[in-house]
Amino acid sequence: MSTDLAARVVAPFEIEAKHPRNCDLAIQCVPGLKLRSAVSQTTKTVQGGVRTPTLDNKSPPKLPGMRLFVDPENLIYRVSDPLRDDESLRDSIGRWIKETTGSRSESRPNGVPTKNGELDEHKAKSLCREMYNLLKEGEAVITDGLMPELDDIEDLPGKFLLNPGLRTHTTQPRFEEDWDAWLTQLTKAGG
């Protein structure tokens, strides 16, 4: 498949963090990025049961998760927070905080500002697969576009990064495809 055609096979898509236990998602391909998960009034326990998180017998308001958009053809991503545009939800959360903590201040969350970023072809390909895996594991949902097929992601230009969130120097290879040869050489050298 030609590179130009492969880049168009994976159309831009967006996910919303929606972990079954209201956990944040650390995105490896964008170092330092954590997506706040949607907060629902019932969550699944690790054992698969259902529980209702409360504070002073009051459940938190339902809260949308942060969103991550990727456009692998144009090598860009966007992180957004639907909370920023929902004044009534921010007021509702502020009331819940006040009622459950006894706070007298009018504190309420503002949401996270939208962040745009650029990717190289390797990070774009790796990010698409990371987002795909979050969807498959039920930790995120599609909010815009269609979920790509794994085969189409593999056909994107570039290579999968071995450790995309790494911010320090290491002797490990940069790409997954080089891992076996590196490990063999390390073993031969007595490492």
In this structure, are 168 and 120 located in the same domain? no
In this structure, are 50 and 133 located in the same domain? yes
In this structure, are 154 and 175 located in the same domain? no
Amino acid at 25: L
In this structure, are 55 and 91 located in the same domain? yes
In this structure, are 112 and 170 located in the same domain? no
Q: What is the tally of structural domains in the chain?
A: 2
Q: For the segment 85-132, what is each residue's pLDDT rounded down to a tens digit?
A: 888 888 888 888 887 777 777 777 788 999 999 999 999 999 999 999
In this structure, are 154 and 184 located in the same domain? no
In this structure, are 114 and 44 located in the same domain? yes
Q: For the segment 20-69, what is each residue's pLDDT rounded down to a tens digit?
A: 888 899 999 999 999 999 987 666 666 666 655 555 556 777 889 999 99
Domain of 174?
Answer: 161-191
Q: pTM of the entire structure?
A: 0.83
Q: For the segment 149-191, what is each residue's pLDDT rounded down to a tens digit?
A: 999 999 999 999 999 988 888 889 999 999 999 999 888 887 5
In this structure, are 122 and 172 located in the same domain? no
